[in-house]
Amino acid sequence: MAPWTFTIGIIGLASLALVAGQNPANSTLLDQRLCSMSLEFQSLEYYAGELGHPNQFTHNVIQNIVQRVGLPPAMRIGGNTQDRTYFDSSVDIAVRLPAGTAAVPNPTQMQIYVGPKFFQLSENLPKNTVVTYGVNLKFDNLTDTLGEATALFNAFPHGNQGSVKLELLEIGNEPDFYFNGVDSYASQWTEFAKNISQAVKLVPGQGPAFQAGDFAGHSASNFSITRLLNTGILSGDTGARINTVSQHMYMGDGATGTVSTLLNKGLSRSKLASFKSDIAYANSKGLRYILGETNSFYNGGATNASNTGATAIWATDYSLQAATLNISRTYYHNNIASGYQAYYPAVYNIFEPVGNVVIGNSTTARPQVQPQYHAFLVVAEAIGNSGKSRIAELPAASDYIASYGIWEKGKLVRIVIINSQPWVYASTGSRPVITVQLQGITKHTKATYKTLYVPHADIAQGLTWAGQSYATESGFPSGRVVQEVVKDGQINISATSIVLVSLH
């Protein structure tokens, strides 16, 4: 069969031709765990459930993802609380937070305490979950860190905890906040990594691996992955164990974040593009490059932005764009329990596994998905469960349209088309539509599509994926799946929505 030319043309705008019969030269392999999750320490018990009582809602909403992509998201347990943790063998399961007072009910909590059972909680997570645990580097207290590491490895005999696997160990979170350069960080990291390796008797060549970097910021002349990899951190047994380097990234500060920042196609692209040379350098050293902590806005998210429909649009584009740059995973940060800082709205979570969670100024009555959860569904379905799909961007000369092709066995099988034109609660008139012309769709190509419907970019409720609502008590979808047939290669895509086209 002769390869046919496939063009995504936006009426009135420029278009790009791709040969659909083969992968584009610059496609990247998709990790089935592209959309993963990161949890602050005190949130683990909420997401996983108490020991022996797995959280059913977590299992349900992750099952929706597994059905599409074959594997559950990876879970990283770390973040600011990782570097505020003391190990205390008397703490029973949950994180112990410093007590509040009537005047200051949620004091800024610079010290938290965990005991051995804390590290067992992850066994409640869905089967085939891989986890990353973070241990404390900031306190510069080896006794403390070894207490944590020993309890962690005891909780994972042979690297496993039932069907949950300890994939990575992270030593220190955002060390650029407490070291004055990559050299001092690398030398202290190596000392801690050596002592941990000895204490828990790690065997060279066997898991888990180490993850390094985890920088909050990025500076080509100071803290960058490239500069880190030139310090000598990769040498010796501890260096050989590093297989992943991690950078953190947010779109901005929770105090100032807006929906229009999230819907700015150029902004997320330029932010991600700043990591290109680091990614290439890490890959040249045989390392995987990830965004080990990311989300819309730091400090818990921005009320009226991080909990809105816009996040579903943003996170879908952001994760897929990251994948085209060979960022293997994007770990979206979550924190549902207050206590990490005095005011912590935690509006950026993917889902709330329990009730009584404060989101912005309101409190949830029961477990529920957040708008951003829909990005996990769309991305999971776009990746598929082959483990071998590849992605490349189909560049669109539009400020609003972003598009990605997904190839399997060299054949274009799916196309994600994202329309980030804002449609907000205050918008008037009829909702704008952009007509996308798929050129190369012949009478012999059957193409169908599903739509992510977002009522308004700045509203949290009412989203549907392929006609189904996930805002149910169980987290399982309600309603019938709606799939439409592409006619004459044309699709009208409403402002603030996404379509996933399948070529049969």
List 72, 147, 254, 300, residue binding ligand NAG (CB under 6 A):
147
Nearest approach, Cβ of residue 194 and ligand NAG (Å): 5
Q: Using the rule CB under 6 A, is 487 a contact of ligand NAG?
A: yes
Q: For residues 21 and 24, which CB has a smaller minimum distance to ligand NAG in the complex?
A: 24
Of 97-105, 321-329, 363-371, 377-385, the segment contacting ligand NAG by CB under 6 A is 321-329
- Per-residue binding letters, 400-439, with ligand NAG (x by CB under 6 A): ---------------------------------x-x----
CA 494, chain centre distance (Å) = 26
Q: For residues 296 and 328, which CB has a smaller minimum distance to ligand NAG in the complex?
A: 328
List 361, 428, 430, 442, residue binding ligand NAG (CB under 6 A):
361
Token digits of residue 398: 């539009």
Cβ atoms within 10 Å of 444's Cβ, excluding its own: 6
- Amino acid identity, position 315: A
Of 73-81, 320-328, 441-449, 470-478, the segment contacting ligand NAG by CB under 6 A is 320-328
Q: Using the rule CB under 6 A, is 461 a contact of ligand NAG?
A: no
How buried is residue 438: exposed, middle or buried, by Cβ count under 10 Å (0-12/13-18/19+)?
buried
Q: Using the rule CB under 6 A, is 448 a contact of ligand NAG?
A: no
Q: Using the rule CB under 6 A, is 22 a contact of ligand NAG?
A: no
Cβ atoms within 10 Å of 501's Cβ, excluding its own: 25
Residues within window 184-213 making contact with ligand NAG, judged by CB under 6 A = 194-195
Q: For residues 22 and 63, which CB has a smaller minimum distance to ligand NAG in the complex?
A: 22
Of 5-13, 70-78, 121-129, 322-330, the segment contacting ligand NAG by CB under 6 A is 322-330
Q: Using the rule CB under 6 A, is 86 a contact of ligand NAG?
A: yes
CA angle 236, 240, 244 (to 5 degrees): 135
Nearest approach, Cβ of residue 487 and ligand NAG (Å): 5
The interaxial angle of helices 56-69 and 373-383, nearest 10 deg, is 30
Distance CA 250, CA 441 (A): 38
Distance CA 335, CA 316 (A): 21
Q: Using the rule CB under 6 A, is 326 a contact of ligand NAG?
A: yes
Beta bridge partners of 393: 404
Of 23-31, 72-80, 103-111, 260-268, the segment contacting ligand NAG by CB under 6 A is 23-31
Residues in contact with ligand NAG, total (CB under 6 A)?
Answer: 34
List 21, 54, 107, 395, residue binding ligand NAG (CB under 6 A):
395
Nearest approach, Cβ of residue 479 and ligand NAG (Å): 22
Cβ atoms within 10 Å of 490's Cβ, excluding its own: 13
In sequence order, which ranges of 32-94 are alpha helices (DSSP H)?
A: 44-48, 56-69
Burial 386-407 (b: 16+ CB within 10 A, else e): eeebbbbbbebebebbbbbbbb
CB 223 within 8 A of CB 215: yes
- Per-residue binding letters, 278-317, with ligand NAG (x by CB under 6 A): -----x----x--------------xx-------------
Q: Using the rule CB under 6 A, is 4 a contact of ligand NAG?
A: no
- For 162-206, the DSSP string reads TTEEEEEEEE-S-GGGT-SSHHHHHHHHHHHHHHHHHHTTPPTTS
Q: What is the three-class DSSP state of 42?
A: helix
- For 219-273, the DSSP string reads -TTSS-HHHHHTTTTTSHHHHHTEEEEEEEEEEEETTT--HHHHT-HHHHHHHHH
Q: Using the rule CB under 6 A, is 341 a contact of ligand NAG?
A: no
Q: For residues 12 and 52, which CB has a smaller minimum distance to ligand NAG in the complex?
A: 12
List 26, 89, 128, 439, residue binding ligand NAG (CB under 6 A):
26
Q: For residues 350 and 493, which CB has a smaller minimum distance to ligand NAG in the complex?
A: 493
Beta bridge partners of 259: none
Residues within window 243-262 making contact with ligand NAG, judged by CB under 6 A = none
25: CB partners within 8 A, 6+ apart: none
Alpha carbons within 13 angstroms on the beta-carbon side of residue 119 total 28
Q: Using the rule CB under 6 A, is 106 a contact of ligand NAG?
A: no
Q: For residues 57 and 215, which CB has a smaller minimum distance to ligand NAG in the complex?
A: 215
- Per-residue binding letters, 158-187, with ligand NAG (x by CB under 6 A): ------------------x---xx------
Q: Using the rule CB under 6 A, is 490 a contact of ligand NAG?
A: yes
- Percent helix, strand, coil in the chain (nearest 5)? 25, 30, 45
Cβ atoms within 10 Å of 220's Cβ, excluding its own: 11
Token digits of residue 57: 């809602």
Of 56-64, 69-77, 383-391, 392-400, the segment contacting ligand NAG by CB under 6 A is 392-400
Q: Using the rule CB under 6 A, is 392 a contact of ligand NAG?
A: yes
Please report, as ranges, the residues that interact with ligand NAG according to CB under 6 A: 24, 26, 28, 86-87, 141-144, 147, 176, 180-181, 194-195, 222-223, 283, 288, 303-304, 324-326, 328, 361, 392-393, 395, 433, 435, 487, 490, 492
